[in-house]
Amino acid sequence: MKSPQPNVAREVTLAKSLWGDLSKRGLQALTQLVVKYKLSVRSGDLTYLNRGWHVTHSGLLRLAQRRRCVGIHTEPVLLACNPESSRWIFRATVYKSRTCRGFVGYGDADPSNVSLLVRGAELRVAETRAVNRALRKAYGIGICSVEEVGSIADPQHLDGESRKMPPKSANGNCGNPKVRDRLCELIRRYQLDPALVKAYATDFCGTNTLRDATREQVEKFVAHLADWAEKDRNALLCQLNSYSAQKEGAA
């Protein structure tokens, strides 16, 4: 039984609600991605960064599953790796069928080209990037995956709420620039509502306000949020939406 055709209008409406008015070219590209590959903004397959569409790792895996991919093999390119400097290079091979000779992709990662959120996880990032490139080759995806993009920190694109975060705190919590920057980047990367994230953070830390939380509590929250966003963004959005009543009450 064939899977139902994606609802293009619904995807376009959701994309506009998340990223505002998109250009004609952006909407055309989204329509092609939805129709041709059945990628979905609603399912977290696509995200819009720097005025361009990017496919996600989960979106590529779902595409491979729909196309009945028979296997993905990964291995580190040991001669090019340097564990001491956290530099890793992986080779991934995607097999679309039992007779397929394989589509190969390489991915590299080191502290200079990964987000602050995943520092220390360069090995896993390199493997994910290799798998993404191999999958994009195998299925003809011409847009880059979001995981292949390095740090996207850009002070000019900070959310208004993120800029309002206090520069100092008696407990040395989110006023610490490093912790604050990681949280701001996380909000931007996964298109999260800053007010809902703040409400969730306060609840997570068990304090009346985020200022009352210790630095350790905030760091633990940021790590928790990053891990959840990477594994299941949709579930995280459901959790954040549960705080919408608090947001409306504070308005």
pTM for the model: 0.62
Show the tokens assigned to 147: 């995981």
pLDDT band at 176 (very low <50, low <70, confident <90, very high): low
Do 100 and 70 form a contact (C-beta atoms < 8 A)? Answer: yes
- Is residue 245 predicted with pLDDT exceeding 70? no
CA distances from 119 to 59, 91, 173, 227 (A): 23, 21, 20, 12
Domain ranges across the chain = 8-53, 65-148, 155-250
Lowest model confidence (mean pLDDT) among 7-11, 75-79, 137-141: 7-11
Region 198-210: mean pLDDT is: 84
| Integer Cα distance of 103 and 196 in angstroms | 41
- Is residue 159 predicted with pLDDT exceeding 70? no
| Integer Cα distance of 94 and 173 in angstroms | 44
Collapsing DSSP to helix, strand or coil, 83 comes out as helix
Query: 65-148 architecture in CATH?
Result: 2-Layer Sandwich (3.30)
**Beta strand pairing call for 52-55 and 46-49:** antiparallel
Fill in the DSSP letter of residue 120: T
- Is residue 52 predicted with pLDDT exceeding 50? yes
